[in-house]
């Protein structure tokens, strides 16, 4: 939709698809370039493990998906950055912008943890592939902070955080409570 044409990132083949391996072209549609695409805000509601943001593995089979065949919303932005950034400094700047403009929320805490992990590992995969090195600690901290703010826990039905609407007699049990504390 954004590009005004089909088969930009992947090509449908019946019930399957294959990744378009050619460089993503930004034709003069609405005079938008790759910077605009990376900056465009995107959100995955009730994101679970975030498979529509980053497609690290096939959700049905569990098999890993090669980096150049991933088609999540953030994967696509990272691909565009990988293809267009001038140098490593420019690359990191635009990777940060891609993460800053990508959001998601999930009610289940365990799924949220996996979603955040998937986004961070996707960054690590991209650094390894693009530069043949491990990410630096300051890079990981920067991306981890963005991820923790941009993927949050929320009930999509009530638009509230879990347990914000207390019911009479409700008490959240802690794993550190003893039976005497629970009473």
- Residues with Cβ within 8 Å of 173's Cβ and at least 6 positions away in sequence, in order, are 182
The residue-averaged pLDDT of 34-59 equals: 93
Confidence of residue 60 (pLDDT cuts 50, 70, 90): confident
181 pLDDT more than 60: no
Across 21-25, 99-103, 118-122, 145-149, least confident range:
21-25
Across 46-50, 57-61, 154-158, least confident range:
154-158
The pLDDT of residue 169 is: 57
Per-residue DSSP letters for 65-121?
Answer: --GGG--SHHHHHHHHHHHH-SSHHHHHHHHHHHHHTEEEEESSHHHHHHHHHHHHH
Confidence of residue 30 (pLDDT cuts 50, 70, 90): low
Mean pLDDT estimate for the chain:
89
Confidence of residue 179 (pLDDT cuts 50, 70, 90): low
Number of alpha carbons in the 13 Å side-chain half-sphere of residue 19: 16
Coil, helix or strand at residue 10: strand
The residue-averaged pLDDT of 75-90 equals: 97
Q: Other CB atoms closer than 10 Å to residue 116's CB: what's the count?
A: 21
């Amino acid at each position: 939709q954004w590009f005004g044409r089909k088969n930009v990132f992947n090509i449908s083949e019946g019930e399957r698809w294959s990744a378009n391996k050619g460089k993503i072209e930004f034709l003069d549609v609405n005079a938008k370039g790759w910077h605009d695409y990376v900056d465009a805000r995107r959100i995955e509601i009730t994101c679970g493990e975030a498979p529509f943001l980053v497609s690290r593995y096939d959700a049905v089979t569990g098999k890993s998906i090669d980096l150049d065949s991933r088609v999540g919303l953030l994967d696509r932005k990272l691909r565009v950055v990988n293809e267009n950034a001038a140098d490593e400094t420019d690359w990191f700047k635009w990777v940060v912008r891609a993460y800053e403009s990508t959001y998601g929320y999930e009610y289940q805490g365990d799924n949220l943890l996996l979603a955040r992990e998937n986004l961070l590992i996707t960054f690590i995969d991209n650094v390894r592939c693009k530069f043949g090195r491990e990410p630096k600690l300051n890079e990981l901290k920067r991306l981890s902070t963005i991820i923790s703010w941009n993927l949050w826990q929320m009930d999509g039905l009530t638009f509230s955080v879990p347990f914000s609407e207390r019911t009479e007699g409700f008490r959240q049990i802690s794993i550190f409570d003893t039976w005497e504390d629970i009473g």
